[in-house]
């Protein structure tokens, strides 16, 4: 075994949702819920969605950082393949396409209504 073989290399897929987008969970324990994307981890192909995949975290009190101890509920990350973007125009969860505008910029677009998703 060579020095660099210990860590498995995975092909990184491009995540088509961005921070602040409204998404709907289409698979998993929280199927059907929708929320805003809080953060994205492109290396692990995971997203954190508001009010989805709530876990309980036992924390110790830390007076220097003003943290109270106890059981804290927070959002855990879910796989990016389990969420679909919600189009603001048609209101449905949709796949994402790309269109090139006349000025040469590439923007995301809704596959159902062909409306641009980027402002």
Per-residue pLDDT tens over the stretch 30-50: 999 999 999 999 999 999 999
Judgement on whether residues 74 and 106 belong to the same structural domain of the protein: no
| Choice among 25-34, 55-64, 110-119 with the minimum mean pLDDT | 110-119
> Which of 10 and 35 is assigned the larger pLDDT?
35
Average of per-residue pLDDT values in the chain: 90
Residue 43 maps to which CATH number? 2.30.30.30
Give which of 42, 118, 48 is closest to 83, Cα–Cα.
48
Judgement on whether residues 64 and 99 belong to the same structural domain of the protein: no
Q: What is the token pair recorded at 55?
A: 């876990």
114: in domain:
yes
Q: What is the token pair recorded at 43?
A: 């290396």
Per-residue pLDDT tens over the stretch 98-111: 999 999 999 999 99
- The domain total for the chain is 2
Q: What is the token pair recorded at 114?
A: 């062909």
Residue 68: DSSP 8-state: -
- Structural domain including 45 reads 12-86
Give which of 53, 55, 64, 113 is closest to 89, Cα–Cα.
113
Residue 62: DSSP 8-state: B
pLDDT (average), residues 8-37: 89
Q: For residue 14, name the pLDDT band (cuts at 50, 70, 90).
A: confident
| Helices (H) then strands (E): counts for the chain | 0, 10
């Amino acid at each position: 075994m060579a020095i660099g073989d210990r860590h498995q290399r995975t092909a990184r897929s491009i995540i088509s949702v961005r921070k602040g987008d409204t998404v709907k969970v289409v698979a998993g324990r929280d199927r059907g819920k929708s929320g805003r994307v809080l953060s994205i981890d492109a290396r692990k192909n995971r997203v954190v969605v508001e009010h989805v995949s709530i876990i309980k975290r036992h924390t110790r009190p830390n007076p220097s950082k003003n943290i109270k101890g106890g059981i804290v509920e927070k959002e855990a990350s879910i796989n990016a393949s389990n969420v679909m973007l919600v189009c603001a125009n048609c209101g449905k969860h949709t796949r994402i396409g790309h269109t090139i505008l006349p000025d040469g910029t590439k923007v995301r677009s809704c596959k159902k209504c062909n409306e641009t998703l980027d402002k």
